Structure 1
Amino acid sequence: MASMKGARRRPASWRTTTTTTTRPGRRWERVDTRGNERASDFTHYNTKPEIPTYDDATYEQHLTHPHWTKGETDYLLETYLESNGKWPVIIDRYSYPEGSNRSMEELKSRFYQISATILQLRTPITSMTAPEYSLYETLSNFNPKQEASRKQLAEGHLSRPQNEVDEEGVLLSELQRIMLNQATLDNEREELRRRLDYPRANTNGYQYTSSQALTGLWQQLLAADRMKKNQRLRATATPGNSLPVDLSDEDMLRLGVVQSQDKLPSGITFASDKLSKPRIAKSTIQTDKIAAILQHAGVPDLIPLPTPAVVEQFDAVMSKVHALLDLRKVGEREAQEIRVREAEAQS
Structure 2
Amino acid sequence: MAGASAADVRSILSLPNPSAAGPSQPRKPAAPTERARKPEGISRELYSLIGPSVPTLAAQLAKPRLKQKPNLGGGGRVKWEWREFKNGARGDGLELSHWVKAGSDPDAEYPFAKYNVQAPSYVYSQDEYTRLLEDSEWTKEETDYLFNLIREYDSRFYVVYDRYEFPNGTPRTLEDIKDRYFSVCRKLVRSRPWAGDEASKNQLLSSLTFDKERETTRKKYVASLENRTPEQIAEEDALFIELQRLEQTERRFKRDRDELLRTLLGIESGLPDVQVDEEGLAGMSHEPKKRKKGGNAVAEVETPVSASPSVISLGPAIPKKAQSAKSAAYDAQHCIVRTEVPATTSSSTKIAHQPVYLRSYKLPAPKMTAAPKIAQVLGELGISHTRLVMPTRDNCAQLESLLEAASALVETKKLVDKVDQDIRTLTARLSNRQSEDADGEGTGDAAPTPMDVDEANDPDADADAEGEVDGRAQSVVSTRSARSTRGRRSV
What's the TM-score once normalised by structure 2's chain length? 0.36
Greater relative contact order, per chain length (Cα 8 Å cut-off, separation 6+): 1
- The two structures have a TM-score, normalised by structure 1, of 0.49
Please identify which structure carries the higher helix content. 1
